[in-house]
């Protein structure tokens, strides 16, 4: 990949996806400024370990790395960043994550995912950013039952507040792209998993319970279907988008407007494996790779959950000549091996 002589700002740099992207950029010799508030939504030690891994990567490669522990809700701190560095590319991955947590603590999502997102948009506007990439989510498809999900589908019916904030991000970002000509790419991620993943996600929850011989709650009696997407595929997708800013759709028809392109330099893409897996099958495979049988506790589906997510990722393949491809068997084997080693299960 051709080196871009730019300085990258990556928010959520200590997060699951953010930390992997930072390492990928450093290996490519880039200068990366990372932001993260290291909040206590989940284990801070995991975030600090990710940062430690970035430091190791930094020492082994030519890229330059600068980290700041700040919140994107703090506009004053963001202004200090803009005065300290000459940023050209922004990859915004910081957010309050989690569908279920948004049901009990919606205010956290208002502050991080809406106020914080607005601050990042203002940062882009005031610093003449040449390429803005942000994380959206498959959750925006809400209660849609037609699968696979396509970017041209209607996403006006979110069924969780988390999904509503992600949908709002897409709309806010489009307005800024239109008003200030900011090349903007929104990526709708589908069930990302892998080593150093988020502890509130099913793979981590299940692996921990299985190896500790505790019950695992299986919602919707295991009939959920997910498009599990391995972290390396997500990282490679974002990385390639870093070198290909969004463009105006020359074929855009305002009489029949596309939901995923624009008269402005704005694009929306699905990023999923396009290989759906039933939750029960996922658990069976995880049991096999961990070498321990799960104690299963079947339950009804929870509010805010989507029963089926399947991605049509053909548009991202056409755009960057890459789409997720790592099979679930390979991904789970890598995840299980890492989990046992990292948490000391021998």
Q: Which of 101, 141, 162, 176 is catalytic?
A: 162
What are φ and ψ of residue 329, in 5° steps?
-65, -45
User: Are the beta carbons of 135 and 93 closer than 8 angstroms?
Assistant: yes
Q: How far is CA 334 from CA 21, 189, 205, 244, in A?
A: 18, 20, 16, 30
Using alpha carbons, select from 97, 90, 101, 88 the residue that is nearest to residue 35: 90
42 included as an active-site residue: no
Measured between alpha carbons, how far is 203 from 34 in angstroms, rounded to an integer? 26
Q: How many residues does the chain have?
A: 346
- Residues that are catalytic: 162
């Amino acid at each position: 990949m051709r080196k871009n002589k730019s300085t990258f700002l990556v928010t959520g740099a200590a997060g699951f996806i953010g930390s992997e992207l930072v390492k990928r950029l450093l290996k490519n010799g880039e200068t990366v400024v990372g932001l993260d508030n290291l909040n206590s939504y989940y284990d801070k030690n995991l975030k600090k370990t990710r940062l430690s891994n970035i430091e190791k990567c930094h020492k082994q490669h030519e890229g330059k790395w600068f980290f700041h522990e700040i919140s994107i809700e703090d506009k004053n701190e963001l202004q200090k960043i803009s005065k300290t560095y000459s940023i050209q590319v922004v990859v915004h991955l910081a957010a309050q994550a989690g569908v279920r947590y948004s049901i009990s603590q919606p205010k956290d999502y208002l502050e991080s995912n809406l106020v914080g997102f607005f601050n990042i948009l203002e940062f882009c506007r005031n610093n003449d950013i040449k390429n803005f990439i942000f994380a959206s989510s498959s959750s925006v498809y809400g209660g849609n039952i037609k699968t696979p999900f396509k970017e041209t589908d209607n996403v006006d019916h979110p069924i969780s507040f988390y999904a509503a904030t992600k949908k709002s991000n897409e709309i806010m970002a489009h307005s800024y792209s239109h008003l200030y000509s900011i090349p903007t790419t929104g990526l709708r991620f589908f069930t990302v998993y892998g080593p150093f993943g988020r502890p509130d996600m099913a793979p981590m929850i299940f692996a921990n319970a299985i190896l500790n011989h505790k019950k695992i709650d299986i919602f919707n009696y295991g009939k959920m279907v997910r498009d599990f997407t391995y972290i390396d595929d997500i990282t490679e997708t974002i990385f390639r988008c870093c070198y290909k800013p969004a463009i105006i759709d020359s074929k855009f028809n305002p009489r029949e407007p596309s939901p995923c392109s624009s008269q402005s330099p704005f694009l929306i893409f699905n990023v999923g494996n396009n290989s759906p897996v039933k939750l029960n099958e996922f658990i069976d495979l995880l049991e096999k790779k961990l070498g321990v049988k799960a104690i299963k506790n079947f339950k009804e589906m929870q509010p805010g959950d989507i029963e089926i997510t399947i991605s049509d990722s053909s548009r991202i393949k056409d755009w960057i000549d890459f789409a997720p491809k790592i099979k679930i068997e390979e991904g789970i084997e890598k995840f299980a091996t890492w989990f046992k080693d990292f948490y000391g299960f021998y």
